[in-house]
């Protein structure tokens, strides 16, 4: 059997003989081959989107090419054609790499300063809507959706927030599972997990979608979208929308805005939303048209990634050089534990759904520098700078760990600290989640000024807290016991090891344990106390 090198050599000889024997036939074959390749490239252009869009949004590329060709032309007078070509290519690569790095900084500075100029200054933050609390984290919702799935040929895919009849849900696509099903089946429905309920409240809407999430390209929403909607834009993650029992896929996108001086670069701006219907029909909507569309009337529309990028770019508010030298007034988006979910967080407020981004001072500081809010339907930015010292999201999780000293933090994780506002007070809502994301152990509200930790364990208690009803702070003392050390600590422990409630008993008090008809009384002054068990 001939080797690959021998086959290539035979083909080259055959083409050479064809070219010399019948030039017209050779030219015709080349033309047919070129047309065939162009036709295939045009049909499968969605697969080439990343490359084409990358080149389109790198306008420094032609500059690097011109410099490289110019250097090669000059070098050709002194060295051979091959050497000059190699030298020109090296110059092209160096100019492209250096230019891309410099234009990246220019784009960041432009985005940051433009965001600062266009943002309004907020005197206060909007009150959190008690009817739409964020209780279930993304990781727990994914676990709930998987645990209740009873379709053997499908799996859940995605994970984003949608609103149905006024209630926010985590939404997932029922995508084909396995190679055979990937090529033979369509998206089979939508799984909705109620994010306002601590227990697993899952609703599955069944029905094949003509162009959905997960199947092969001929049944895939993205392939159809890139052929029928705007091609030269950057599409974000899709999310499911269930409207009047019909399933839709919504995809926000950004478009590049070109800048030519001092070097050519691009910055992203909100372009609109593509809406894919259950029958595969595709609508490319402007931001205004998306807000007016009946299917999208309750939904977030602004791109998640754009909100984070613009807020993060405000670190360049004092220029590029400042970020490498003195770091004056520089910020950074606070890193938070979230099991695959990060800022910005979508919070439902009295003014509607808003992206909220908490930023800290650059470096080791963990105080709250600013809170940025972005209207998720209009894209309007506002920045709130607290007038007093408040601690940030990362420190809030430390206070939760400190308040619950008996929780085994090797088995539980404080997750997704979300800023919520109750009666004008800023709190961090921290969900304590088992390491396997099997549920919500409890929820802690941490006062951003006093560091008091308020622990709640049920959805009703979450709603009550957001409505202004206070529970006892886990870190505080009442007047009668201030400064005293309890003689006995009684813990109420859930089956999963979570401490649900703690009772402190002092020297002049006793504990009465009632089980059935038997009653046991223990005096705190004579009780033998042991260190609390982890759990």
**Alpha carbons within 13 A on the beta-carbon side of 134:** 29
Q: Is 281 within a domain?
A: yes
252 and 351 housed in the same domain: no
Using one digit for the tens of pLDDT, what is the confidence trace for 267-307?
Answer: 999 999 999 999 999 999 999 999 999 999 999 999 999 99
pLDDT at position 513 is: 72
pLDDT at position 505 over 70: no
Instruction: Answer whether residue 319 is part of any domain.
Output: no
pLDDT of residue 37: 87
pLDDT beyond 60 at 79: yes
Q: Decide if pLDDT at 323 tops 80.
A: yes
More confident: 339 or 93: 93
Lowest mean pLDDT among 323-327, 341-345, 385-389, 471-475: 471-475
Relative orientation angle of helices 81-118 and 304-312, to the nearest 10 degrees: 90
pLDDT in tens, 426-464: 999 999 999 888 889 999 999 999 889 999 988 999 999
Task: Write down the pLDDT at residue 481.
Answer: 40
Domain shared by 377 and 505, yes or no: no
Average of pLDDT values for 58-72?
Answer: 85
Overall average pLDDT of the 129-151 stretch: 92
Q: What is the pLDDT of residues 194-206, one digit of tens each?
A: 999 988 899 999 9
Of the three residues 339, 364, 384, the one that is the final residue of a domain is: 384
- CA-based diameter of the chain, in Å? 112
Q: Are residues 256 and 364 in the same domain?
A: no
The per-residue pLDDT for range 395-426, each reduced to its tens digit, is 898 899 888 877 888 889 899 999 999 988 99
User: What pLDDT shows up at residue 23?
Assistant: 66
Q: Tell me the CA distances in angstroms from 486 to 45, 482, 507, 535, one per residue in order.
A: 71, 10, 7, 20
Could you tell me if 348 and 484 lie in one domain?
Answer: no
β pairing state of 246-259 and 167-176: unpaired
Tell me which of 88-97, 111-120, 500-509 is least confident: 500-509
When the pLDDT of each residue in the chain is averaged and rounded to a whole number, the result is: 85
Query: Considering the domain boundaries, does residue 497 fall inside one?
Result: yes
Do 238 and 296 have their domain in common? yes
Residue 193: pLDDT over 50: yes
- 208-231 pLDDT, tens digit per residue, is 999 999 999 999 999 999 999 999
Of 3 and 108, the one with more pLDDT: 108
Q: Is the pTM of this model over 0.85?
A: no
Both 195 and 332 in one domain: the answer is no
pLDDT bracket for residue 86 (50, 70, 90): confident
Whole-number Å distance between alpha carbons of 446 and 467: 16
For residue 347, pLDDT beyond 90: yes
Do the domain assignments include residue 60? no
* pLDDT one-digit tens code per residue, 11-46: 556 656 655 556 666 677 778 888 888 889 889 999
Do 292 and 243 lie in one domain? The reply is yes
DSSP 509: -
Answer whether residue 103 is part of any domain: no
At residue 484, the pLDDT reads 46
What's the pLDDT at 494? 57
DSSP strands (E only) in 38-135: 120-121
In a domain? residue 422: no
pLDDT digits (tens, 9 = 90+) for 225-278: 999 999 999 999 999 999 998 999 999 999 999 999 888 999 999 999 999 999
Q: Are residues 377 and 234 in the same domain?
A: no
Alpha-carbon gap, residue 255 to 266, rounded angstroms: 9
Distance from C-alpha of 44 to C-alpha of 207, rounded to nearest angstrom: 28
Residues 226 and 290 occupy one common structural domain = yes
Query: Does residue 264 share a domain with residue 158?
Result: yes
Q: Does 9 fall in a domain?
A: no
Could you tell me which residues are beta bridge partners of residue 82? Answer: none
Q: Is 433:522 a contact under the CB 8 Å cutoff?
A: no
Q: Is residue 179 domain-shared with residue 297, that is, in the same domain?
A: yes
Same domain? 276 vs 341: no
Q: Is the pLDDT of residue 53 over 90?
A: yes
DSSP 128: B
Which two tokens mark 207? 């029905």
Strands (E), 139-186: 154-164, 167-176
Domain-embedded: residue 508:
yes
How many domains does the structure of the chain reveal? Answer: 3
pLDDT score recorded for residue 134: 93
**Residue numbers of the domain that contains 377:** 328-384
The Cα 320–Cα 329 span in angstroms is: 12
Strand 202-209 and strand 352-361: the pairing is: unpaired
CB 350 within 8 A of CB 127: yes
Average pLDDT over residues 86-102: 86
Would the pLDDT of 524 be above 50? no
């Amino acid at each position: 059997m001939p080797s690959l090198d021998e086959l290539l050599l035979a083909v080259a000889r055959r083409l050479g003989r064809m070219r010399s024997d019948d030039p017209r036939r050779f030219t015709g074959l080349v033309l047919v081959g070129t047309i065939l390749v162009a036709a295939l490239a045009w049909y499968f252009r969605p697969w080439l989107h990343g490359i084409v869009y990358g080149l389109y949004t790198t306008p420094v590329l032609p500059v690097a090419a011109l410099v490289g060709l110019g250097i090669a032309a000059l070098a050709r007078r002194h060295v051979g054609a091959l050497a000059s070509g190699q030298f020109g290519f090296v110059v092209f690569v160096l100019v492209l790499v250096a230019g891309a790095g410099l234009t990246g900084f220019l784009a960041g500075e432009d985005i940051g300063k433009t965001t600062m100029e266009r943002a309004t200054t907020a005197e206060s933050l909007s009150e959190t809507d008690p009817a739409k609390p964020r209780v279930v984290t993304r990781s727990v919702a994914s676990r709930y959706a998987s645990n209740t799935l009873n379709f053997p040929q499908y799996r859940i895919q995605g994970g984003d927030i949608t609103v149905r009849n006024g209630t926010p849900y985590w939404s997932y696509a029922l995508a084909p599972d396995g190679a055979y099903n990937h090529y033979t089946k369509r998206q089979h429905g939508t799984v909705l997990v109620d994010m306002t309920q601590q227990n697993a409240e899952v609703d599955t809407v069944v029905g094949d979608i003509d162009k959905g999430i997960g199947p092969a390209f001929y049944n895939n929403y993205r392939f159809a979208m890139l052929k029928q909607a705007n091609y030269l834009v950057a599409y974000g993650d899709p999310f499911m929308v269930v409207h009047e029992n019909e399933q839709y896929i919504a995809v926000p996108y950004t478009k590049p805005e070109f800048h030519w001086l001092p070097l050519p670069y691009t910055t992203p701006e909100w372009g609109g939303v593509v809406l894919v219907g259950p029958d595969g029909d595709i609508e490319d909507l402007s931001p205004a048209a998306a807000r007016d569309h009946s299917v999208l009337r309750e939904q977030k529309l602004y791109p998640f990634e754009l909100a984070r990028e613009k807020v993060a770019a405000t670190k360049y508010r004092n220029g590029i050089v400042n970020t490498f030298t003195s770091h004056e007034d520089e910020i950074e988006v606070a890193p938070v534990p979230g099991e695959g979910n990060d800022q910005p967080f979508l919070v439902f407020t009295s003014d509607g759904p808003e992206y909220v981004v908490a930023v800290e001072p650059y470096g080791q500081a963990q105080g709250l520098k600013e809170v940025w809010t972005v209207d998720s339907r209009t894209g309007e930015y506002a920045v709130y700078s607290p007038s007093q010292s408040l601690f940030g999201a990362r420190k809030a999780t430390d206070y939760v760990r400190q308040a619950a000293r008996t929780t085994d933090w090797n088995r539980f994780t404080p997750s997704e600290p979300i800023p919520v506002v109750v009666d004008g007070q800023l709190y961090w809502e921290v969900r304590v989640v088992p390491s396997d994301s099997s549920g919500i152990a409890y929820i802690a509200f941490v006062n951003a000024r006093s560091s008091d930790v308020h622990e709640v364990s049920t959805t009703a208690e979450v709603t009550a807290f957001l409505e202004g009803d206070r529970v006892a702070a886990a870190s505080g003392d009442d007047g009668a016991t201030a400064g005293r050390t309890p003689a006995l600590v009684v813990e109420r422990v859930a089956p999963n090891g979570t401490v649900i409630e703690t009772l402190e008993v002092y020297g002049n008090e006793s504990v009465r344990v009632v089980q059935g008809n038997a009653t046991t009384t223990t005096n705190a002054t004579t009780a033998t106390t042991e260190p609390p068990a982890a759990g």
